[in-house]
């Protein structure tokens, strides 16, 4: 199956579908730093702003993939949705290509809050538009914790098919096959990742459970409380530098952030830490998308 990778970021969705046996024939990403990481790992620089790309210029494909911008729908963002003309309406670029090219299937990914934004009206507009385009639409919130990663990351997955195929979202993986936090941590991270003594003391003073077993990742919420968990809170693109800390001692390394999203250790890091943190926060949990991809392919073939 040929796929196109829109709003590609660093290629997490592409990687998942390629793992499932698909071939990517086109990609698009506007951010120059993400394009650099993408090029280093897929030997291909994505095309730029999708708004400037004609539908007719995209090669033949079978499945449209898009993790369209989510900041305006997130509980973290301003939640302006379609009122944000720069990002919120980019969904309609997806709709434009679906209308013009009419591929057999698509898969979209976004934040959980998309379903609740504007009392559900935003999600209703999106699914209604997809149905008007002639697609049978399936949607479900999936959590990376249920698919083997030590990260609580809930995302809405929207899968659509031109034919009324028998599609089911994937079931969670067994507990025995799920990675633990200790499985993704590096052994001897460089000193640069460790926080200052003052930051550490401040975190420990606010730590809710000072006897929580190690290793843990603590999350500082908006009220200032520091809560330890045996998994990471969702990686965020725009979070503060110390949003999550490992054992309240250090920030996660680039490799650890990639592992939390399910990227292989062969994935190359070619940008500074701040950019990698942003790119990982904007990316997807690869095993979740791969599980969805396999179910989609099963439904299409059958």
Distances (CA, A) of 162 to 23, 65, 101, 279: 20, 15, 12, 32
Distances (CA, A) of 12 to 24, 141, 150, 231: 12, 18, 17, 20
Q: Which of 65, 67, 68, 60 is nearest to 20 (CA)?
A: 65
Tokens read off for 47? 């095309």
CA pair distance 266, 57, nearest whole angstrom: 32
In the annotation, is 129 catalytic? no
CA pair distance 299, 221, nearest whole angstrom: 41
Which residue in the list 22, 24, 70, 280 is annotated as catalytic? 70
CB atoms within 10 A of CB 225: 12
CA pair distance 297, 291, nearest whole angstrom: 10
Question: HSE-up of 202 (CA within 13 Å, CB side)?
Answer: 9
CA pair distance 135, 153, nearest whole angstrom: 27
Q: Which of 139, 124, 30 is nearest to 82 (CA)?
A: 124
Do strands 63-66 and 105-111 pair parallel, antiparallel, or not at all (unpaired)? parallel
Distances (CA, A) of 19 to 27, 40, 130, 286: 17, 18, 27, 9
Q: Which of 274, 272, 257, 295 is nearest to 12 (CA)?
A: 257
Asked if 32 and 266 touch (Cβ cutoff 8 Å), the reply is no
Q: Hey, which residues are catalytic here? A: 70
């Amino acid at each position: 199956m040929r796929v196109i990778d829109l709003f590609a970021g660093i290629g997490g969705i592409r990687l998942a579908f390629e793992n499932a046996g698909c071939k990517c024939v086109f990609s698009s990403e506007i951010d120059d730093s993400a394009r650099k990481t993408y090029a280093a790992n897929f030997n291909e620089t994505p095309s730029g702003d999708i708004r400037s790309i004609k539908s007719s210029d995209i090669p033949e494909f079978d499945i449209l993939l898009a993790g369209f911008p989510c900041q305006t729908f997130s509980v973290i963002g301003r939640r302006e949705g379609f009122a944000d003309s720069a990002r919120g309406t980019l969904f309609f670029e997806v709709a434009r290509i679906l209308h013009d090219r009419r591929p057999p299937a698509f898969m979209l990914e976004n934040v959980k809050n998309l379903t609740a934004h504007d009392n559900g009206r935003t999600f209703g507009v999106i699914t209604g538009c997809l149905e008007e385009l002639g697609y049978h639409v399936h949607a479900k919130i999936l959590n990376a914790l249920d698919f083997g990663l030590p990260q609580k990351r809930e995302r809405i997955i929207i899968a659509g098919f031109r034919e009324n195929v028998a599609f089911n979202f994937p079931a969670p993986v067994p507990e025995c096959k799920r990675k633990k936090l200790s499985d993704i941590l590096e052994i001897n991270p460089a000193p640069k990742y460790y926080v200052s003594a003052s930051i550490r003391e401040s975190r420990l003073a606010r730590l809710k459970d000072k006897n929580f077993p190690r290793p843990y990742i603590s999350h500082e919420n908006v009220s200032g409380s520091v809560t330890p968990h045996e998994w990471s809170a969702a990686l965020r693109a725009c979070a503060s530098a110390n949003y999550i800390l490992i054992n309240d001692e250090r920030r996660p390394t680039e490799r650890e952030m990639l592992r939390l999203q399910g990227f292989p250790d062969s994935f190359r890091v070619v940008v500074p830490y701040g950019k990698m943190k942003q790119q990982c926060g904007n990316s997807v949990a690869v095993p979740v998308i791969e599980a969805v991809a396999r179910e989609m392919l099963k439904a299409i073939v059958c």
